[in-house]
Amino acid sequence: MLLLRGATEVVTPSATSVPLSGEAMGIVERHPNADVLIENDKIVAVGKNLESEVAEIIDVSGKVIVPGFVDPHTHLVWAGSREHELEWKLEGRTYQEILANGGGILRTVKETRNSEEEELQQESLIRFKNAIRSGSTTIEIKSGYGLEEETELKQLRVANWLGNLGLAETVVTFMGAHALPEGADRRSYISFVCSMLPEVRELADFCDVFCEEGAFTEDESRFILQSASENGFGLKIHADEFGDTGGGRLAAELGLVSADHLAGSTLDTIKALRDSGTIGVLLPGTPFAILSDHFAPARKMIANNLPIALATDCNPNCYTESMQLVQQLAVFRMNMSPAEALVASTINAAFAIGKTDRGCIAEGWRADLLICDIPDYRHLTYHFGINHVDKVIIGGKIIDA
Amino acid sequence: MLLLRGATEVVTPSATSVPLSGEAMGIVERHPNADVLIENDKIVAVGKNLESEVAEIIDVSGKVIVPGFVDPHTHLVWAGSREHELEWKLEGRTYQEILANGGGILRTVKETRNSEEEELQQESLIRFKNAIRSGSTTIEIKSGYGLEEETELKQLRVANWLGNLGLAETVVTFMGAHALPEGADRRSYISFVCSMLPEVRELADFCDVFCEEGAFTEDESRFILQSASENGFGLKIHADEFGDTGGGRLAAELGLVSADHLAGSTLDTIKALRDSGTIGVLLPGTPFAILSDHFAPARKMIANNLPIALATDCNPNCYTESMQLVQQLAVFRMNMSPAEALVASTINAAFAIGKTDRGCIAEGWRADLLICDIPDYRHLTYHFGINHVDKVIIGGKIIDA
């Protein structure tokens, strides 16, 4: 047993009605001068002056404890690097222009195909550890830089390998429909993606599709997602990144677990997503990194009771592993409150990847916790650009990443 | 002697014509597979396969070396905290409204006046160390949370104390004219600020004035700055933060060392500043933290050959110590290139606080260096939200902050 003794405050979303939406997203429980008692991988008590004769005691005086962050959308397993494309973006080239010229995703596809599996493991492990040191305790990872069988499987194996290191858990997503490979026939490629589904199911719990101009159409996305559903996958979609182009509506129609990006979603789409029980996963790092002011309309979503989660979108075009920075962008660019950002990065993010046992600090929940070197939980966003995480506890164990 | 051996690259501004402006701001020298040799607090050589029989050797293979960051504008010495005001800002209250209701600067003034000097030292030291761990090797610090003799002196003493700890150097600025204290008569307060100048000169090298609606007028600012000039101070100004309200023009008229903020400066003001030899110090953390899209027009400044520097503005309303984040904001929100951001954070920033011996990695320059855990210097901005600084060298010594 582990007893965290004397935190300045223990701060957690309420788990009354999950995922949280509307006004409930803006409310967190604050337990001042509190302890947390952990047995194996579960929280067994939160409160003042807890006692245990057998527990190892950790003094957390002067610290704030929050749930471990869940990052429900990353492409963290890739090879190579695209800093030169940042300079292109600064010269005014758009995401779609760079992609159409063999850059963007297609460049990373080349480098990932050419990488040895062990090399891919090591490059990805550095990022995985960066994420954990920044507070992520469960991390979703997608394939989609292979766009051919061998490399997709390699990426999925690496994502599973990372999750089995005894550090953070991973949730793995197959995203063969990330882009159309260079020179491929659309119909054949989509058939190929669907043909991989049964084999891939052992390596991935979710299937995701990039529904956007330049990637896959609404009909193509529907076809792939329906096949994935028949194969037992949970379903996700990259939708409405640049405008309301049908992806959000499709997510609502099919009742997906999450619809991600949504920067361009209209009010009708937001309401449809709410009614379908879909969680909106917002990725403010992406507009930040592509020099755009077009952040998702988080306030409109919260006002209309769509539950929202936050994620890094960690990829070579939005290269950050930090859920702290993402929360800061959510507050300073999308006008979310510090409480809403925390809820969206913990319990709602966990639900967006089907993990209903974590993201809350209360009896019976999984012991994924962050011990933070701040005087008040709001400093996670108010005090920006600095890593506030002092210790990371995952499944009841202190993790040295 | 210290030999840093085998860096992936050593990257530095050229010091041909300083401070750098225009196209020269966008060019850095890149020395691949290079060593750096240091004797005492100076760099003595940069190049391939350097040898020294007496030097301590540090293996920096796989790392990138850049000059230490210089943060030329902070208010780092304060007491208390204002995270509750972040929630007010999110509800739509403006900076000026919060100030007019006794919040903002005036709230921090109360808390700083009420703090014991040792308490103020310790609170500030935490921030100072955060800054150093994030790569700042020389840090300017202003007073201005006293607005009365005793507390202004206390702040200035703490700023000097920080600089004498053997960590980063500090450059200290007297800013009695930061705000009008509550209930004060304008004329009497301005006279009081000027009366402090001779005494304060021993503790501060620069004098700064907040020239803005709600703070000090152009005429009042001119009067204070001229008095400061007569007392031997270097001169700075907070100018044009919200619009072109005369501060930038005044800086040009008086030929100040730097004019800081400049988010609202017009093209005429930018040209006037260029012609007066003033450096523009841009503070992108501030609009970021006050939920504004009104970033300084960096591209227009560079196109018109105004040399620019970057700074954190670290204060309770823009609470970040990280010059890495500031460079990331410069790139992703002001469209500066990674090279321009680096130049603006090193040699130009040093010149903005009168330090002409640092900010460049070449023979004879001060050995303030960062050993960064990145494959290419552009990752300092391309890969955002993560602290890339592995080791900090200040005055030739490895600093453990």
**Is B378–A87 a contact, with Cβ atoms under 8 angstroms apart?**
yes
In the three-class reduction of DSSP (H, G, I as helix; E, B as strand; rest coil), residue A150 is classed as helix
- The Cα B130–Cα B401 span in angstroms is 8
- The Cα B274–Cα B234 span in angstroms is 18
**Is B385–A83 a contact, with Cβ atoms under 8 angstroms apart?**
no
**Is A383–B322 a contact, with Cβ atoms under 8 angstroms apart?**
no
Q: Which residues of B touch A335 (CB under 8 A)?
A: 90, 291
Is A48 exposed, middle or buried, given 0-12, 13-18 or 19+ CB atoms closer than 10 A? exposed
Instruction: Tell me how close the Cα of B34 comes to any Cα of chain A, in angstroms.
Output: 21
- The Cα B124–Cα B162 span in angstroms is 8
pLDDT in tens, A286-309: 999 999 999 999 999 999 999 999
Q: How confident is the model at residue A102, as a pLDDT?
A: 79
DSSP state of A145: S
**CB atoms inside a 10 Å sphere around CB B219:** 11
What's the start-to-end Cα distance of chain A, in Å? 21
- Name the stretches of chain B with pLDDT < 50: none
Q: Which residues of B touch A376 (CB under 8 A)?
A: 81, 83
Residue B335 sits at the chain A interface (C-beta within 8 Å): yes
Report the C-alpha dihedral over residues B124, B127, B133, B137, rounded to 10 degrees: -60
Q: Which residues of A touch B90 (CB under 8 A)?
A: 331, 335-337
Q: Which residues contact B65 (CB under 8 A, 6 or more apart)?
A: B4, B7, B9, B10, B11, B34, B36, B361, B369, B370, B371, B372
Q: Locate tokens 């960051």: which residue?
A: B69
Q: How confident is the model at residue A290, as a pLDDT?
A: 93
The answer to whether A288 and A329 have CB atoms below 8 angstroms apart is yes
Q: How confident is the model at residue A127, as a pLDDT?
A: 98
pLDDT in tens, A208-265: 999 998 899 999 999 999 999 999 999 999 999 999 999 999 999 999 999 999 999 9
In the three-class reduction of DSSP (H, G, I as helix; E, B as strand; rest coil), residue B200 is classed as helix
Q: What are the φ/ψ torsions at residue B188 (nearest 5 degrees)?
A: -65, -40
Q: What angle do CA B173, B174, B180 make, to 5 degrees?
A: 135
Q: Which residues contact A251 (CB under 8 A, 6 or more apart)?
A: A237, A239, A258, A259, A273, A276, A278
Q: What domains sit in chain B, N to C, each tagged with a CATH number?
A: 2-68+357-399 (2.30.40.10), 70-351 (3.20.20.140)
Q: Which residues of A touch B324 (CB under 8 A)?
A: 385
Residue A137 sits at the chain B interface (C-beta within 8 Å): no
DSSP state of A356: T
**Is B386–A332 a contact, with Cβ atoms under 8 angstroms apart?**
no
- The Cα A224–Cα A124 span in angstroms is 27
- Could you list the beta-strand ranges (E) of B60-127: 64-67, 69-71
Size of interface A-B (CB pairs under 8 A): 107
Report the C-alpha dihedral over residues A8, A348, B387, A108, rounded to 10 degrees: 170
Contacts 24+ apart (CB under 8 A), A239-245: A239/A211, A239/A212, A239/A265, A240/A264, A240/A265, A240/A269, A241/A212, A241/A286, A242/A212, A242/A213, A242/A294, A244/A269, A245/A211, A245/A212, A245/A213, A245/A218
- The Cα A343–Cα A323 span in angstroms is 12
What's the start-to-end Cα distance of chain B, in Å? 21
The answer to whether A292 and A7 have CB atoms below 8 angstroms apart is no
Residues 243-302 of A with CB under 8 A from B: 285, 288-289, 291, 293
Q: How confident is the model at residue A101, as a pLDDT?
A: 79
Closest Cβ opposite residue B87 in set A288, A320, A337: A337
Residue A383 sits at the chain B interface (C-beta within 8 Å): yes
Residue A379 sits at the chain B interface (C-beta within 8 Å): yes
Enter the tokens of residue A174: 């197959």
The answer to whether B389 and B347 have CB atoms below 8 angstroms apart is no
Q: How confident is the model at residue A99, as a pLDDT?
A: 80
Q: Which residues of A touch B376 (CB under 8 A)?
A: 81, 83
**CB atoms inside a 10 Å sphere around CB A265:** 29
Provide the pairing of β-strand B279-282 with B258-261: parallel
The answer to whether B105 and B178 have CB atoms below 8 angstroms apart is yes
DSSP state of A318: B
**Is B337–A291 a contact, with Cβ atoms under 8 angstroms apart?**
no
Mean pLDDT, 10 residues at a time, over chain A (401 residues)? Answer: 97 93 97 98 97 93 98 98 93 85 90 98 98 98 98 98 98 97 95 98 98 94 98 98 94 98 97 98 97 97 98 98 98 98 98 98 98 98 98 97 90
Q: Which residues of A touch B135 (CB under 8 A)?
A: none
Residue type, A171: V
In the three-class reduction of DSSP (H, G, I as helix; E, B as strand; rest coil), residue B79 is classed as coil
Q: Which residues contact A269 (CB under 8 A, 6 or more apart)?
A: A240, A244, A248, A249, A252, A262
Residue A321 sits at the chain B interface (C-beta within 8 Å): yes
Instruction: Tell me how close the Cα of B285 comes to any Cα of chain A, in angstroms.
Output: 9
Q: Supply the ipTM of this predicted assembly.
A: 0.97
**Is B335–A386 a contact, with Cβ atoms under 8 angstroms apart?**
no
The answer to whether A326 and A312 have CB atoms below 8 angstroms apart is yes
**Is A81–B379 a contact, with Cβ atoms under 8 angstroms apart?**
yes
Q: How confident is the model at residue B17, as a pLDDT?
A: 85
Residue B375 sits at the chain A interface (C-beta within 8 Å): yes
Q: Which residues of B touch A130 (CB under 8 A)?
A: 386
Please tell me which residue of chain B has the smallest CA distance to A92: B335
Q: How confident is the model at residue A97, as a pLDDT?
A: 86
Q: Which residues of A touch B291 (CB under 8 A)?
A: 332, 335
Residues 61-120 of B with CB under 8 A from A: 81-84, 86-87, 90
Instruction: Tell me how close the Cα of A144 comes to any Cα of chain B, in angstroms.
Output: 20
